[in-house]
Structures are given as C-alpha cells and as structure tokens.
A and B are shown apart, each in its own frame.
Chain A
Amino acid sequence: MRKYSVFAVAREAMRGHKGWEAQWTSPEPRKEYDVIIVGGGGHGLGAAYYLAKEHGITNIAVIEKGWLGGGNTGRNTTIIRSNYLYDESMDIYEHSLKLWEGLSQDLNYNVMYSPRGVMMLSHNVHDKQSFQRHVHANRLYGIDNEWLTPQQAKEFVPVLDISASARYPINGAALQRRGGTARHDAVAWGYARAASDRGVHVIQNCEVKGIRRGPDGAVTGVETSKGFIGAKKVAVSASGHNSVILSMADVKLPLHSVPLQALVSEPMKPIFPCVVMSNSVHAYISQSDKGELVIGAGTDQYNSYSQTGGLQIITHTLDAICELFPMFRRVKMMRQWGGITDNTPDRSAIQGVTPVKNLFVNCGWGTGGFKATPGSAHLFAYLIAKGEPHRLAAGLTLDRFRTGRLIDEAAAAAVAH
C-alpha cells in the first residue's frame, strides 16, 4: 500500500494524480475463507482490519450487498461521544473514542475526527438530574464530561438562545469536549483500504441469500448472489438487516428495524462550532466541513426497510431546531434521507455468539452505531478470533434478554414525574 502523506499528494499534484492506485482491490471470491464478515460498513470492515492486524487472521472476506459504507455508515449524522451512563456502555464507547483519537494515523487515512465537543442541553430539573448523573459517572470512569451553566454553554455556542422566555429554557448543559464528528465515508474507505492491504477480500455487490450449516449445526459458509462461499466462521454485522440475515440460520433476535431520518441544509459559512443535542425537544445539530447544518431527526414509529420516512418526522425535528435557534428559520433544507436502524428493547447493542456454532453477530446499535465503529469493530474482531467476548464487550451478549440484565440507556433518561 502506498502511504498517504502531504508529500505524496504534492508529488502526485505535479503529475496529474496519475499515480494513485485503487484504495482497495475487488477480487473474485475464493472457495473458502477462515472468516466471512457479512456487511461492508464501518463495523464489518473494521473487524476485518483488526482481525488481520491483531489476530493474524487474513483469509477473510467482507461481503457487501451494495457498496461499501452504503448502509448506516454512510447515512448517519457522524456524531461521536462516549458520555454514556452504564459501565457496559462506557466500556465500549470510551474504548471506541480512544481508537477514534488515533484512527487517521493508524489507518493512514484522514477520517477527519474532529473533537469539537458534544453539548447536551438541559431544559428542566429532570434533565439536570439525569445529565449530572452522567457527568458524575463519566468522571469516576475517567471520561470527560462537564456540567456547564447556561452562560458557559452560550460562551461555547454563541448562537444558543439562553433567555428564560424560551418555551424550553436552558438551565445548563453537559459538554464532552472530546466528543465531535468524523467523516463517515472515510471510515469505511479507510478500513477497506487498510484491510485490503493486509489481504482481506472486499467483495461488493454480493448479497447473502442463505447460511449453510454442517451436520453438527455449525456454519460452513454462505450462499450468495455470487454462489456458495465456504467459511469456518461467519460474523454478521449488517445494520438494519441483521434480523433478515440471522433468520437464514433460524436465529431470532430482539430487534426491530425502523427508518431513521436526517437532513442537511444548504452550505453556509461556519456558524455552528460543535454538536448540540437536546433530549427534551428531540433535536441534534452540527455543521459539516462543507458548511451544511447536519440535523438528525427521529425514527418513524413502524418497522420498515424502506430508507424513507414521513415528512412529519422532519418537520417535527425542524420545529425543535428552530425553537432552539430561531435564526435558522430562513435556512433551507437541501436534502433529507433515511437509514434503517435495528433497535433492541434496551437500546444497547448486541455483540456476541449466537445459538449457532461459529456464527457471530454484531447488531442493535440503533441510532448510535457510528460513534461505536472502531471500538465495536475492534472488540468484534476479538470475539470472532477467540470465540468469546472481550472484557469490554462482555455485557453486550444476547443472553441478557433471557436473564434480564439489560443495559437500559433509554430508561436511564426516564420520563419526568
């Protein structure tokens, strides 16, 4: 792999950029692999990369139905943070954040991780109690997350309206300075390039049609649109479609897939310095490097694989954004889109073994999968290589729905009395 650097760019500039090679190769599939990863998003490609880099397994194929990063990796609002409440969540998201911090250098690919801060607005006593619980838990864990007064919040985000006359006045905010954003496509491409360099096969336009199992019940490979491909281990990380894939091995998951919508405005000069979220009014917003306001909307209420949703979800989100930032009412929506998220009952992910031998699953990241990408991929690789979860992902197993040991991040932000 040719190293990327400012010097390489300068050299290529002199000769019309004719020397760049393909970032990843697109080989025909082999007959059999040690590991097949289903799903060519950030989690799947990353897992392949870490398997090759840290576990010495390179006979791997990543199989993608469409194009790399075309699922939720390329459809999300790119928010990164680790200020979660429960130990299990802090374990995985902080692990991930630490990997984000060095990811560009590790992959030799600028993923544009930008720790510009993630601010969560508090609007009432209940928000304050909940956020301070997060702040304290994060501090004792070793995660940066600080409580700001409304004035401090405004100093950080000058366009914030902290007047007491707002319908939902701001009574404080929690700020994680290391939180921020990254360039979503670059994450998929960077992992694909680095994995491909280590011998991983990246196979696009290849849809999985079935999972084949041997007489002992263990997986032996996958049926695909390019024919049968054998595998000693199959690991599924196909956000949105995990239920569909796992059902091919008769595994039922506690998931429901719903469309999650987002939108961007027309590009504008920098006005919004960080990520701002508000649970009470249901909105989150940041500004991309191109200048678009990137706004996350809610999920539609019904199961769907359609990657579209209702206009009312968008308008509802914009209601909230413009209530917080009234100067944006004249700004225009340029594009709206949807992705399909698979959600668990406790809104925490599932990563672990399945009832089928040598079949592993990484799913249920709901609306928060992007920020987990490096951490999830890293720990998923460990799981695939060792056959048992890493200490930091030990809480995410499927078994918790039987035992009741849920990691209820949603409930932790319970409704006000």
Chain B
Amino acid sequence: MLLIYCPYCEEERSELEFRHGGDAHIARPTNMADISDEEFQEFFFLRDNPKGLIFERWRHIHGCGRFFNAARDTVSDKFYMSYKAGEPKPDIPGVTTATEKTVETYEATEGTAK
C-alpha cells in the first residue's frame, strides 16, 4: 500500500484515502468541438504508459477531496514529489526515463555483495 503525500493537506496518508486519476498534464483541448478524429484519439486514448518516471493525477477522495499531481517511478513505485493541480510539470533532477529495472529473476542477483 502506497504512502502518498497530499500537497493540500501537507501530509503523507495511506493509499486507501486516494484514488488514482490517470495521466497528468493532458489538457482538454479548448477547441474541443473542432479537433480531428486523430487529435481526439491522441487526447482521449493514447498514453505514454512509461516504464520509469510518470506524471499522474491523484484525488484525495477520502480526505480533502482535491485532485493533485505526482511524479512517481512506475518500476520502484517511489514518489519523487506531489504538487498541486495547475502547477507546471516539474523537472525531476537526474531522472529522464526508466530508472530501475523490474526486480525479476535475472536482475535479482545483480548488485554488489557487501
């Protein structure tokens, strides 16, 4: 169970209080009625689904009720930070894409013995 920092409540709370809200920073087109089928597909369906850094939305549904954004690693499930809705996509220093491989059989033996 994840431990999630709500930037509005300013504290870490258990995942049970939150609901995931899909990818962040996908703005609804302001000219919605006029976009093409391809643009609609891009907006509504296509996703990066990154292995590594993801920017995602959460709602503190059993708390303050606010939607906010978070930057997380989808392999380690570690949060880099959470921030309020509407704030720009932050730079996560030193992180571009995948940061760590899935822990599976082969990788499990990597690393150095003490």
Residues on A close to B: CB < 8 A? 66-67, 70, 205, 241, 243-244, 247, 252-257, 301-308, 310-312, 342, 345, 401-403
Report Cα–Cα, A244/B20, bound state, in Å: 21
Chain A residues with Cβ below 8 Å from B20 are 301-302
> In the complex, what's the smallest C-beta–C-beta distance from B73 to chain A, in angstroms?
9
Q: Can you give 5 A-B contacts (C-beta < 8 A)?
A: A66-B106, A256-B47, A303-B56, A306-B103, A402-B38
Q: Is the CB of B102 within 8 A of A402?
A: no
Chain B residues with Cβ below 8 Å from A304 are 74-75, 77
> In the complex, what's the smallest C-beta–C-beta distance from B94 to chain A, in angstroms?
20
Report Cα–Cα, A312/B15, bound state, in Å: 10
Residue of A nearest to B41 (CB): A402
Chain A residues with Cβ below 8 Å from B48 are 243, 247, 252
Q: Which 9 A-B pairs have the closest CB atoms?
A: A243-B49, A254-B45, A301-B20, A310-B1, A252-B46, A401-B45, A402-B41, A302-B20, A244-B51
Q: Is the CB of A253 within 8 A of B104?
A: no
CB-defined interface of B16-50 with A at 8 Å, one 1/0 digit per residue?
Answer: 10011010000000000000011011101111111
Chain B residues with Cβ below 8 Å from A67 are 105
Residue of A nearest to B58 (CB): A302
> In the complex, what's the smallest C-beta–C-beta distance from B81 to chain A, in angstroms?
16
Which one of B22, B41, B51, B72 lies within 8 Å of A401 (CB-CB)? Answer: B41
Chain A residues with Cβ below 8 Å from B77 are 302, 304, 306, 308
B95 at the interface (CB under 8 A from A): no
Chain A residues with Cβ below 8 Å from B56 are 302-303
Q: Is the CB of B47 within 8 A of A254?
A: yes
Report Cα–Cα, A254/B43, bound state, in Å: 10
Chain B residues with Cβ below 8 Å from A401 are 41, 45-46
Q: Is the CB of A255 within 8 A of B41?
A: no
> In the complex, what's the smallest C-beta–C-beta distance from B44 to chain A, in angstroms?
8
B54 at the interface (CB under 8 A from A): yes
Report Cα–Cα, A350/B110, bound state, in Å: 35
Known: A253-B49, A401-B45; 12 extra A-B contacts, CB below 8 A, are A241-B51, A243-B48, A252-B42, A254-B41, A254-B46, A302-B2, A302-B56, A306-B76, A306-B77, A307-B104, A312-B16, A401-B46
Residue of B nearest to A346 (CB): B45
> In the complex, what's the smallest C-beta–C-beta distance from A338 to chain B, in angstroms?
11
Q: Is the interface of A mostly helix, strand, loop or mixed?
A: loop
Chain B residues with Cβ below 8 Å from A306 are 74-77, 102-103
| B contact residues, total (Cβ < 8 Å) | 32
Residue in A241, A255, A301, A307 with the greatest tally of chain B CB atoms within 10 Å: A301
> In the complex, what's the smallest C-beta–C-beta distance from B18 to chain A, in angstroms?
8
Q: Is the CB of B74 within 8 A of A305?
A: yes
Q: Is the CB of A310 within 8 A of B37?
A: no
Which one of B2, B46, B51 lies within 8 Å of A310 (CB-CB)? Answer: B2
Report Cα–Cα, A202/B40, bound state, in Å: 40
Contact A307 B103, CB 8 Å, known A312-B1, A402-B38, A403-B37: yes
Q: Is the CB of B47 within 8 A of A301?
A: no
Q: Is the CB of A205 within 8 A of B106?
A: yes
Q: Is the CB of B47 within 8 A of A255?
A: yes
Q: Is the CB of B105 within 8 A of A402?
A: no
Which one of B37, B72, B103 lies within 8 Å of A402 (CB-CB)? Answer: B37
Q: Is the CB of B102 within 8 A of A301?
A: no
Residue of B nearest to A252 (CB): B46
Report Cα–Cα, A286/B89, bound state, in Å: 46
Report Cα–Cα, A247/B37, bound state, in Å: 21
Report Cα–Cα, A66/B107, bound state, in Å: 9
Residue of A nearest to B38 (CB): A402
Report Cα–Cα, A241/B49, bound state, in Å: 9
Chain B residues with Cβ below 8 Å from A301 are 19-20
Contact A257 B49, CB 8 Å, known A301-B19, A304-B77, A403-B37: yes
Report Cα–Cα, A310/B20, bound state, in Å: 14
Report Cα–Cα, A303/B75, bound state, in Å: 9
Report Cα–Cα, A241/B50, bound state, in Å: 9
Contact A345 B45, CB 8 Å, known A66-B105, A205-B106, A302-B2: yes
Q: Is the CB of B37 within 8 A of A342?
A: no
> In the complex, what's the smallest C-beta–C-beta distance from B23 to chain A, in angstroms?
8
Report Cα–Cα, A307/B75, bound state, in Å: 9
Report Cα–Cα, A257/B23, bound state, in Å: 12
Q: Is the CB of B102 within 8 A of A307?
A: yes
Chain A residues with Cβ below 8 Å from B22 are 256
> In the complex, what's the smallest C-beta–C-beta distance from B56 to chain A, in angstroms?
7
Q: Is the CB of B16 within 8 A of A243?
A: no
Chain A residues with Cβ below 8 Å from B44 are 345
